[in-house]
Amino acid sequence: MKTAFNLDQHPRRGPQPLSAPPAGYFERLPTRIMAQVAAPAVRPLLPAWLRLAPAYVRTGLASTVLLGTLAASLWLGGGPLSRPATPANSLDAVPAEQLVDYLTNGETHVDMLDLAELPTHRLGLTRRYLQPSDSEMTEALDAQPHDEAGLL
C-alpha cells in the first residue's frame, strides 16, 4: 500500500542565486528593441505625377490598361477563339487503325451509354464501316440485357 503524500514533510528550496545583468543593460534595451522593430523605409510604388493625379484619372488609366491588356491578349492569342474544336472534328483527324486499336484493346471499356452520347448528325469516320441494316439494328438492340421492372 502506498503512503499518503504530505507536502509539509519535504524541505523547501531557497531562492536560486541570480547573476546581475550587464552594466547599462536596461538603459540600452528600449533602443535595441526599437531598432529591431522599426519599419524599413517605404518606397512609393507610383511615380509622383500619378500620386498627385485625381482619383478619376487614376481609375481611368487603370481601366484603360486592363482593357488594353485584354484586347492585346485576344488579338495575339487568336487561335482557340476563331474555331473551337468539336469532338467530331477531332475524331476525324484520328487514323482509323488507331481508333479501332484503341476501342478493341482490353483496357478500354465502352458501353452503350458511351455510344449513345455520340453525335448522330455528323458520322465522319464511322460512315465508312458502320452501315447496319434495320434488321441487324433490331437484333442488336433486342440482344441487349434490360430490366423489365425498370420499364414499368
Q: What is the pLDDT of residues 24-76, one digit of tens each?
A: 999 999 998 988 887 777 777 888 888 889 999 999 999 999 999 999 988 88
**pTM summary value:** 0.29
Domain ranges of the chain: 48-76, 88-140
Q: State how far the Cα of 89 lies from the Cα of 84, in Å rounded to an integer.
A: 10
